[in-house]
Structure 1
């Protein structure tokens, strides 16, 4: 019998993606699903605006969001230090794709999240991501060749496909064509995994509104 498949879009610079990891990986063990991890690299200025244009209201929301995510992190024994600047996470996203192809995904994924949120890794520096690849037994030179070659086109195609599905943030889970955004939707995702026949009803109700 084929395992239920859940696609997960994530970004290493998202605090909420970081704290959702443990529950998402637990789906594999508890519910026998197969997780397909893909990057959705957030373009921060596109939806948050430039730093100079942000209002006091915006910064209150940002401070609360990190405080809220840190509560989830603390409950899991995770360290979460606020980002020091705005990051372009393309290199870390390319590393995810490369690591998957070479059987290194979980070690890479855990290392990048943990080191970034501990202020031990600059995820937009090619040399630092190459260092992670090398440290987990991968081919750093092969990774750099991938980044300079087909990585950008593959990455952008994945983003375009995600947005065609309706993805706009992370973590986003896709199960049988239905989207679930945020770690607080994992319980709803579990309900769908246990009762997949309810998806058609849920989608039909949404389309009738």
Structure 2
């Protein structure tokens, strides 16, 4: 019987982008349903600013490490333009209005309702992080959505702002209940696996549960 792997995922997270090809392979290799559960970036979930404006080491390291990891995986990497989160680059303060991230998050939720959440996340995150400028102002987003087997206009027509906010809040609560706060976090039978580099550990766990579709055993 197929089991669920919940994936707590953000469109602004470089590591969420980097894990999506592995999540598609997970679905191919194991008898699991990979469920996308979009959350807001931690910059919008934290009560205070995530980064100390006087200390640039952490954001610099994240960008450097994500770029390095993308090179290791053979994936393109350039910070999205425009940034899905409206945030001051010097003070790290975020705007009270966040139309881009709410649009993407709502689309992700609607895609998951149609059973194509991970497909949509893979296609759209590849668009965002590929270096294409103005991904939000042209046909790019529509084409990326079509690649996931969905129609952008149909998705957007189905979005209810109130319902999206309720779903996002439920996802936030479920992530906290699973024992973590960051993305990407995969949760299988209540056990969290945090980070793009924990996909192999999750595969090992699924192997031990007997969910592999083939007879090939896991090899470290």
Q: TM-score w.r.t. structure 1 length?
A: 0.75
1:102 aligned residue (114, 127, 130): 114
Across the aligned residues of Structure 1 and Structure 2, the Cα RMSD in angstroms comes to: 3.2
Any gaps of 5 or more consecutive residues in structure 2?
Answer: 86-97, 211-220
Separation in structure 1 between the aligned mates of residue 119 and residue 201 of structure 2, nearest angstrom: 28
Residue equivalent to 2:8: 9
Report the alpha carbon displacement of residue 191 of structure 1 after superposing the two structures with TM: 2.1
Deviates further, 156-165 or 32-41: 156-165
Report the alpha carbon displacement of residue 156 of structure 1 after superposing the two structures with TM: 1.9
8 A Cα contact 1:7 1:36, kept in partner: yes
* Alignment size in residue pairs: 191
1:70 aligned residue (59, 67, 72): 67
Q: Deviation string for 1:93-117 (max 9, x for gaps)?
A: 1101112223554553223201211
8 A Cα contact 1:10 1:172, kept in partner: yes
CA distance 1:193–1:48, shift in 2 (3 Å): farther
Residue equivalent to 1:79: 76
The structure richer in helix per residue is 1
Q: Does 1:177 align with 2:190?
A: yes
Separation in structure 1 between the aligned mates of residue 186 and residue 204 of structure 2, nearest angstrom: 13
Any gaps of 5 or more consecutive residues in structure 1?
Answer: 198-209
Deviates further, 145-154 or 4-13: 145-154
Separation in structure 1 between the aligned mates of residue 198 and residue 174 of structure 2, nearest angstrom: 22
